[in-house]
Amino acid sequence: KEHPQILDMTRVRRVRIGNVNIISLPGSQRAFYLKAGDQGCAYNKKDLMKTASLVTERLTNVLLAPSPPRGRGEHAVDRGRGSTNIGNRDLADVLRSKEIRFGIFGYVNESGGHATYDDGFTPARPAVWQESLFLQSGSAEAYPVSLIGGGRSVGMAHIVDFSGNRARFRTVSATPDRV
């Protein structure tokens, strides 16, 4: 009530701002990734289909989810330690089938700042308008996180702009010289 501009996207699953339809998929595909384990919020294929039903044609659909879709290669938003892509294949299939071309994801902090087109492979550059964009948000925490491509992140965040059916992003950090 005090801050109506702040939404809990685990409770509000869809928000429309102009021509942008923001859809949320809370939780993880694997409960063992969660601190709460089996008591945590894990989703299954049925949950994915329910989320996909929130897509609105003629709008720019954007998925916000902690778990990224399965990508390919070292620049993908799901690149984890050990040079492995750890994202969810079912989520990648749903995004492709529903033509959701924009997504912002978390959990894989070591890939913070990685961005690709919706193919999950081709790197997307910052500050350039893209017809599709998957972005790994990284960690907003103040403690250093070692990044897959080298370097460290301290307090990483992103500003994402939408215009028509395009998006662009830029990365900001509490200590930009250390990213």
Position 34 confidence tier, pLDDT thresholds 50, 70, 90:
low
Residue 134 has pLDDT above 80, yes or no: yes
Task: Give Cβ neighbours of residue 76 (< 8 Å, ≥ 6 apart).
Answer: 68, 85, 87, 111, 114, 116, 120, 121
pLDDT tens across 7-18, in order? Answer: 999 899 999 999
- pLDDT on residue 149: 81
Mean pLDDT of 19-40: 78
Q: Which residue has the tokens 């709460």?
A: 36
- pLDDT on residue 65: 95
Residue 29 has pLDDT above 70, yes or no: yes
Rounded to the nearest integer, the mean pLDDT of the chain is: 90
- pLDDT on residue 31: 65
pLDDT tens across 148-162, in order? Answer: 888 888 889 999 999
- pLDDT on residue 179: 47
Q: Read out DSSP for the chain? A: ---TT---TTT--EEEETTEEEEE--SBS-GGGSTTGGGS-B--HHHHHHHHTT--TTSEEEEEESSPBP--STTSTTEETTTEE-SBHHHHHHHHHTT--EEEE-S-GGGTT-EE-TTSSSB--TTS-BSSEEEE----SSS-EE-TTSSEESSEEEEEEEETTEEEEEEEESSGGG-
> For a pLDDT cut of 70, what percent of the chain falls above it?
91
Mean pLDDT of 145-150: 87
- pLDDT on residue 75: 94
pLDDT tens across 67-102, in order? Answer: 999 999 999 999 998 889 999 999 999 999 999 999
Residue 176 has pLDDT above 60, yes or no: no
Task: Give Cβ neighbours of residue 100 (< 8 Å, ≥ 6 apart).
Answer: 23, 52, 55, 61, 62, 63, 94, 118
